[in-house]
Amino acid sequence: SHHKPAPHPARQECAMHILQATIRVDQWPNPVVYRSAPTNASHPAHARTNKLLPTSWTTTLFTHDQLDAYFENHHNQRLRKCYASLRPWAYRADLFRLAILHDRGGIWMDFTTELLRPLDVLLPSGASLGLVRERPGFGMDYGVFNAFLAVREPRHPFFAAALERSVTVCLARDYGSTPWSITGPELLGRVARDAPRLVRDVTWLRHAPEGGAIETTGERGHKRVAITKHSDIRRFIPLSNAYIGMWKSRTVFRHSKSKGGLGIRS
């Protein structure tokens, strides 16, 4: 009998690359948009955004209590301790978006983020990782804006590295150089900057220079594809000022055991 020669590894890899390059966003394995809010609330942006999602996609909102439950039941003990040690809700929500995208894949959108264009404009065919370059400022020029994050497959190395770095920073009570260095845009930007291989498959978007919007990047210029702030953003400014104040006063971390015994003493 004749044995067919094994396919050449390079050809196999090329075929796999071609296959992945044809995967559209409506074919992603976990077609879910995640958001979070203190309680089970809605925003006009959600209904408008849902109309621009492929029909296979759904949206899931996690409340504060559901975030607590997610981490209390998480298999990663260090991650549980990190979450329990964080006091500001903003930092907990930042950590959650990294964890849920690492564990399941999908898309994260902040509560008020609204698509202006269909999802496949932001994530064209073949996209497997979607990140938004932060606008310069905030003490950095390399941040990753985390109001919109997208990843096709779970356990992507970028999210694995970001989660690991965040947990390490958290458990060391390391405040870093900015309020966004513990779980936010500065930390994510540092991961992408320090290990470019982790984002070699990225589709880059950008945070508009004036803020409050996300744009595509490319030779044809910048096309506005989402907005991240609405007229009711005034409700969120006090929250933002509060957690920045906690960072400045070095009160981000709990110093005693939290509910469920998951906290750690410093």
- Which of 45, 8, 56 is closest to 227 using CA atoms? 45
**59: pLDDT strictly greater than 60:** yes
Which of 4-8, 48-52, 107-111, 220-224 shows the lowest mean pLDDT across its residues? 4-8
- How far is the C-alpha of 95 from the C-alpha of 204, rounded, in Å? 21
Query: Does residue 10 form part of some domain?
Result: no
Query: Does residue 15 form part of some domain?
Result: no
Query: Does residue 32 form part of some domain?
Result: yes
Query: Does residue 5 form part of some domain?
Result: no
Query: Does residue 9 form part of some domain?
Result: no
Query: Does residue 160 form part of some domain?
Result: yes
Which of 25-29, 207-211, 220-224, 234-238 shows the lowest mean pLDDT across its residues? 234-238
> Which of residues 113 and 232 earns the better pLDDT score?
113
> Based on the structure, what is the number of domains in the chain?
1
- How far is the C-alpha of 204 from the C-alpha of 10, rounded, in Å? 27
Question: Mean pLDDT, to the nearest integer, of 118-137?
Answer: 93
Query: Does residue 53 form part of some domain?
Result: yes
Domain that holds residue 81: 24-261
For 227-239, write each residue's pLDDT tens digit: 997 655 555 566 6
Q: Are 208 and 136 in contact (CB under 8 A)?
A: no
For 168-188, write each residue's pLDDT tens digit: 999 999 999 999 999 999 999
Query: Does residue 93 form part of some domain?
Result: yes
Task: Give the global pTM.
Answer: 0.86
